[in-house]
Structure 1
Amino acid sequence: MTEATRRTPGTPCWVSLMVHGLDEIQMFYGELFGWEFAPGPGQLGPYVRGLLDGKEVAGIGRLPADRQLPIAWTPYLWTDDADATAELVRCSGGTVGVGPLDAADAGRMAIVTDPAGAVFGLWQPASHHGISLHGTHGTPVWHELLTSTTTSVSKFYETVFGYETRTDTSVEPKEGSPLEEEYDHVTLLLDGRAVAALHGVGRTLSRRRGTAWMTYFQVEDTDRSASQVIELGGHVITPPWDGPHGRTATVSDPEGAVFTLVRLRP
């Protein structure tokens, strides 16, 4: 691995989705984002990687028929030692649900939860270094943890990954925003660079999803992509609006996985 491909531990480096209808969901994201697909490691069952211009941007796997787990996009955070980081997750109040285990020659992984119950992955790369294309339609561009209050989990992420934190007092609901009350927002930084955020939304937190990570996918036209989600069998949860990151819309795919479309401000 070269210095050009290595990321600072704690950096979001991959996103993955486990579903029941793998073929149908491939069609959905293929139409919405223009992804093509190639086989990936199958330790957890059938698994494909979404490609744009031949470069890997996300993964989708099939759940066993008897597993009724929540369908959700899961971000993976880079680590140089998945076993050591998994143990630190345990010692800091989180839990380890899967692994650590080897994903063929691609790398070593674990699925963990923070103390508030949000699921995320750990990724120690070998041959697979994560997302290899950025800044275009259909690529993951940002991750935010939606929780009732950031104070409940910020210390956990600081301890496990060494993030610096910045409280963004300037991030406030604006007139016309779908948010119904004030919230707090903490940016997570590595080497002075923003890599993710914690977003406290108070009573507007979804009771069904609870505390969970939200993946933002970059699109060329938020309104058009939101309409396409409906045409492809998904749902629009929050219609397009001009938010802190740009024009955004929160949507779900046909199996209920929630994600956000965003056209970033120039």
Structure 2
Amino acid sequence: MTEAPESAGPRAPHAPGTPCWVSLMTRSADAAEEFYGALFGWEFRPGPLGRPVRASLGGLEVAVIGQLPPDAGLSAAWTPYLASDDVDLTAERVRLSGGTVAVGPLDAGDNGRVAIAADPSGAVFGFCTAWTHPAPPRGGGPGLPAWNELRTASAVRVTTFYARVFDYEAEPPSAPDHITLRSGGRPVVALRGMGQALPRALGAHWLPHFEVTDTDATVQQVLESGGRLLEPAHDTPYGRVATVADPQGARFGVVRKIGTVPRPRG
């Protein structure tokens, strides 16, 4: 796990590989809006064609929520987008490094140029040029993205792939097969090798974490709203963390960072 990328005011160009966006593809976007609106206080506005919708908090755009085609046979999932100075070049690096480019590169309006790919372990991620809308303030805040973590069978095996694609520098492992990658001199994403503990049916996947004021209370709210608890709340050097799934099965983490005051329980 690692801290979320920091920025202030309008986004300046991101260092390559810095998480700059997150999107949810789900079977019922309406149900997802209701769930995440109640959980994080997000507000929503439709995109140019109605879907996908954009989620915002306090005037800051947080995420995109889109609807899966009914016959796609895909599971609901969150996908992080990583910054790229040149999406076409990054796509070529993905291919040459053993990954697969599934969508794009293509132009996406004010999102710039985007593509969606999978690393050699099958974990799906996107990459795009600089986002043009205001970014969360330094240090984030409740309801905003906190960090992104790749869960895979072996972190060591995919570290070289991400380093080649985004010029990351790897920190010494903080735990066996737990590797933090740096861009622009600071930590931006984490890779967590799970070995046989990685769910076989799920496979390698990226897991976004969102900041909350009270991890335990948020988990309870997720359960009361029809979601599931996947990893109970526990204390880490970064704060109190839990892994949950929304009612449609999309997985994400919640974290109360160290120094955050828990909200009163009702």
TM exceeding 0.5: yes
Question: Please, which runs of 5 or more residues in structure 2 have no aligned partner?
Answer: 1-8, 260-266
> In the TM superposition, what are the counterparts of 1:185-224 in structure 2 within 5 Å?
185-224=178-217
Is structure 2 residue 96 aligned with structure 1 residue 91? yes
SS of match in other structure, 1:65: coil
Give the secondary structure class of the aligned counterpart of 1:46: strand
1:10 corresponds to: 17
- Tell whether 2:37 aligns with 1:30: yes
Structure 1: gaps of 5 or more residues: 172-182
Q: Please state how far the C-alpha of 1:64 moved relative to its aligned partner.
A: 1.3
Secondary structure in 2 matching 1:195: strand
Q: Which residue of 2 aligns with 1:255?
A: 248
Distance in 1, matches of 2:199 and 2:16, equals 30
Q: Which has the higher contact order (CA 8 A, sep 6+)?
A: 2
Conserved? CA contact 2:18–2:83, under 8 Å: yes
Q: What's the C-alpha RMSD, in Å, of the aligned pairs?
A: 1.8
Whether contact under 8 Å (1:41, 1:104) holds in the other structure is: no
Alignment partners' CA distance in 2, 1:146 and 1:85: 22
Output the CA distance in 2 between the equivalents of 1:6 and 1:114.
24
Write the deviation string for residues 200-253 of structure 1: whole angstroms up to 9, x where unpaired.
Answer: 122111112111111111000000000000111111111111124211111000
Cα distance between partner residues in 2 of 1:81 and 1:68:
32
- Work out the CA distance in 2 between the residues paired with 1:50 and 1:143: 18
CA distance in structure 1 between the partners assigned to 2:143 and 2:65 by the alignment: 14
1:107, 1:128 within 8 Å by CA — same for their partners in 2? no
Distance 1:107 1:4 in 2: 13
Which residue number corresponds to residue 147 of structure 1?
A: 152
Counting matched residue pairs gives 250
Alignment-derived partner of residue 107 in structure 2: 102
Q: CA deviation at 1:127?
A: 3.6
1:9–1:78 Cα contact (<8 Å) kept: yes
Contact in 1 for aligned 2:26/2:67 (Cα 8 Å): yes
Give the TM-score, by structure 2 length: 0.89
Other structure's SS at 1:105 match: helix
Kindly state the Cα deviation for residue 3 of structure 1 after the two structures are TM-superposed: 9.2
For 1:29, the aligned partner's letter is: Y
